[in-house]
Amino acid sequence: MLWTKWSASRWLRLGPVFAAAFLALAPSTGAATTPLIPSSNQFNQLVAIGSLLCTEAPAQDCVEHGWRFTDANRNGSLDVEELTAVRAGFLEWAAEVQESLSGRDRLILNLGRNLLRIVPLTPLFALYDENEDGELSQEELLVDIQMDQRPMSVILADRNATDWNAIRGRLGRGAALLQMLGLPQ
Ligand SMILES: [Ca+2]
Ligand SMILES: [Ca+2]
């Protein structure tokens, strides 16, 4: 099993980088080409590699990793259908993984699942979609985060680099759960 307690607690605190991807998720609009829902094995790989890239490598590597996973049609941006598919896969995967966890890791994962359920996804997507083209670019998604060569986990913990007030403002009532997940005040 690739999932470990180590990766559980580290990865799940990475917050809105993947979160904004996972979160943005609205009810399917019934598009003709609905992306496939990623399997639990694919999520295991995403997390195993991502927990390393996002804590050890330059932040852009972390972003690219999540982006490749989510950008099913390979057009370089994320749409609601892609995010909906990833969210569905994440919720299935998290339910399986949760059974193997205990204590704080189990609690964190449960909070993460609840966060995905309560954040109003369609308005959230619109808030990040600055040019209103129905696609999220990396620039739009990372608008509250100043990227540099440090790992994403370091940038997210640095209040001079990550504008948590702005992120909380976008998340609305979901922000309370972010705080419970241990993200910076
Ligand atoms: Ca895409
Ligand atoms: Ca856009």
- Per residue in 13-38, pLDDT tens? 555 445 544 444 444 444 456 788 99
Would 31 be classed as within a structural domain?
Answer: no
Interatomic CA distance for residues 99 and 84, integer angstroms: 24
Nearest ligand to residue 80 Cα:
1
Cα of 131 from ligand 1 centre, angstroms? 16
Would 43 be classed as within a structural domain?
Answer: yes
Over residues 129-154, the pLDDT tens digits come to: 999 999 999 999 999 999 999 999 99
Cα of 72 from ligand 2 centre, angstroms? 17
Task: State the total domains in the chain.
Answer: 1
With a cut of 80, say whether residue 86 has pLDDT above it.
Answer: yes
Would 53 be classed as within a structural domain?
Answer: yes
Would 185 be classed as within a structural domain?
Answer: no
Q: What is the DSSP letter of 145?
A: B
Would 65 be classed as within a structural domain?
Answer: yes
Cα of 111 from ligand 2 centre, angstroms? 29
Would 149 be classed as within a structural domain?
Answer: yes
Interatomic CA distance for residues 115 and 166, integer angstroms: 17
pLDDT band at residue 105 under the 50/70/90 scheme: confident
Q: Which residues pair with 78 in a beta bridge?
A: 136
Would 107 be classed as within a structural domain?
Answer: yes
Nearest ligand to residue 133 Cα:
2
Q: What is the pTM (predicted TM-score) of this model? A: 0.76
Interatomic CA distance for residues 64 and 144, integer angstroms: 17
Nearest ligand to residue 125 Cα:
2
Cα of 67 from ligand 1 centre, angstroms? 9
Nearest ligand to residue 131 Cα:
2
The dihedrals phi and psi of 78, each to the nearest 5 degrees, come to -110, 135
- Which range of residues forms the domain containing residue 167? 5-26+37-180
Would 109 be classed as within a structural domain?
Answer: yes
Interatomic CA distance for residues 115 and 14, integer angstroms: 14
Who wins on pLDDT, 73 or 172?
A: 73
